[in-house]
């Protein structure tokens, strides 16, 4: 029988479903009979409870279950017959006017939209590129040296300077009153490495062991501690110890301590370059993918299913609560997080997901097995035991799905870049890595 689908608004549709009462009752009786063979009730032996007693005890709940099952099956059958792509769960309510011997329901739901992707050849996309230079390798070498540096205590005549490790006691007051987090003993930090506010860092330079000093410090207006942001505090600092650092020389002994095959400085630099090039590749892919996705969203026309947006908002809210919980926030799972905060982000995600899915379907951009293997192998290459990492990915369907999504995005990015007006832009290694 043809299914009558009524359009209510944009993506919203309505279907009327009718179910024979006799069919429902027949299923109810069948389930009650099966229950009577298993149910245990006081005063009756197992399997010997009269059907009338089982019906009185469980009849309502079984009726409800059967009705839900039958309506759900009828809805799925009707949607399949009408070739509808359902977005979200339908709202189903009983209605009047059913034919004799039947019970009627109306199902109101949304369908996925028609996605119209504009002329991609007119889209303008900036594609960035970057190279790993000697300066980037040198910077990484400096990080490796600092990870293995040693410290020696300065004598009492020596003063604190950049690159020293200093141990201090301090107490800060605002308008003569202490504040939370404003006091510490035997506090240690590296001078000149950005661990402290610049004013604080500058104030301790030149101080000697055993020396005390009071100085004003202006907290920035955007300081993370809101109770002191934008205010001026007076700090009393006493230096307990000053240590100067010694960095290891970059020689064969240093290289061997890092476990680099070949044991030479050239081998170390080559290994660093290989790892940096891998990181650069991933960052370039991410940045260029983002540019492609922006272009796709701008070139597509579609209505958004409210159910999909609401589901995405809910996922984002739950993700925010999980993040709060991970940070140790008490009762994070009950935190009142306004859904409106995530509406724009959820709408963009849903829009992008639908556009990408349409592009993948119409242009056969699905991830191929060899692409999945290549991506997993590339991810695993930077680990000490890559074969274990490969098995870690392939042994879990969820992780495989994440890899598949990344590969599909890459396929989409390559396809769009092949169609669009692309402007190439070279950026420095530092800018790409966020170090500029």
Biggest CA pair distance of the chain: 103
Q: Are 260 and 268 in contact (CB under 8 A)?
A: yes
Q: Are 365 and 411 in contact (CB under 8 A)?
A: yes
What DSSP designation does 251 have? S
Which residue ranges form the domains of the chain, and what is each CATH number? Answer: 5-111 (3.30.70.1050), 150-246 (3.10.50.40), 278-433 (1.10.3120.10)
Q: Are 316 and 322 in contact (CB under 8 A)?
A: no
| Distance (Å) of CA 4 to CA 107, 114, 216 | 12, 20, 77
- From first to last of its 436 residues, the chain has per-residue pLDDT tens of 457 888 998 899 999 888 889 988 898 888 888 888 877 777 777 777 788 887 888 888 888 998 899 989 989 999 998 889 999 889 999 888 778 888 888 999 999 999 999 999 999 999 999 999 999 999 999 999 999 999 999 998 899 999 999 999 999 999 999 999 899 999 999 999 999 999 999 999 999 999 999 999 999 999 988 899 999 999 999 999 999 999 999 998 899 888 887 789 999 999 999 989 999 998 999 999 999 999 999 999 999 999 999 999 999 988 888 888 888 777 777 778 888 899 999 999 999 999 999 999 999 999 999 999 999 998 898 888 899 999 999 998 999 999 999 999 999 999 999 999 999 999 999 899 885 4
pTM: 0.72
Q: Are 41 and 56 in contact (CB under 8 A)?
A: no
């Amino acid at each position: 029988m043809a299914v009558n689908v009524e359009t209510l608004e944009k993506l919203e549709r309505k279907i009327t479903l009718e179910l024979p009462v006799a069919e429902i009752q027949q299923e109810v009786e069948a389930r009650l009979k099966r229950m009577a063979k298993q149910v245990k009730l006081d005063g009756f032996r197992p399997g010997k409870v009269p059907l009338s007693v089982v019906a009185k005890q469980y009849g309502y709940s079984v009726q409800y279950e059967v009705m839900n099952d039958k309506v759900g099956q009828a809805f799925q059958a009707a949607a399949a017959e009408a070739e509808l792509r359902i977005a979200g769960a339908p709202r189903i309510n009983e209605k009047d006017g059913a034919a004799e011997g039947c019970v009627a329901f109306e199902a109101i739901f949304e369908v996925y939209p028609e996605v119209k992707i504009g002329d991609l050849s007119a889209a303008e996309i900036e594609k960035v590129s970057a190279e790993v230079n000697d300066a980037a390798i040198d910077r990484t070498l400096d990080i490796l040296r600092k990870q293995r540096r040693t410290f020696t205590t300065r004598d009492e005549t020596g003063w604190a300077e950049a690159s020293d490790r200093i141990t201090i006691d301090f107490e800060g007051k605002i308008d003569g009153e202490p504040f939370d987090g404003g006091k510490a003993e035997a506090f240690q930090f590296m001078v000149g490495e950005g661990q402290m506010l610049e004013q604080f860092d500058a104030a301790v330079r030149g101080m000697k062991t055993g020396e005390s000093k009071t100085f004003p410090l202006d907290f920035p207006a955007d300081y993370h501690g809101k109770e002191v942001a934008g205010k001026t505090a007076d700090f009393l600092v006493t230096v307990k110890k000053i240590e100067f650092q010694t960095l290891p020389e970059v020689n064969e002994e240093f290289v061997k301590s890092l476990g680099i095959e070949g044991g030479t400085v050239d081998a170390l630099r080559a290994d660093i370059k290989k790892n940096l090039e891998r990181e650069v590749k991933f960052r370039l892919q991410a940045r260029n993918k983002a540019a492609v996705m922006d272009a796709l969203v701008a070139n597509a026309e579609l209505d958004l299913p409210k159910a999909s947006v609401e589901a995405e908002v809910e996922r984002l809210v739950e993700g925010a609560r999980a993040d709060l919980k991970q940070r140790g926030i008490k009762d994070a799972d009950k935190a009142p997080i306004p859904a409106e905060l995530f509406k724009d982000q959820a709408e963009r995600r849903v829009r992008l997901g639908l556009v990408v899915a349409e592009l993948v379907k119409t242009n056969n951009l699905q991830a191929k097995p060899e692409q999945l293997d290549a991506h997993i192998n590339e991810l695993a290459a930077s680990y000490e035991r890559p074969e274990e990492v490969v098995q870690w990915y392939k042994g879990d369907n969820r992780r495989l799905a994440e890899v598949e999504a990344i590969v599909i995005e890459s396929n989409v990015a390559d396809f769009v870049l092949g169609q669009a007006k692309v402007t190439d832009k070279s950026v420095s290694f530092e800018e790409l890595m966020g170090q500029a």
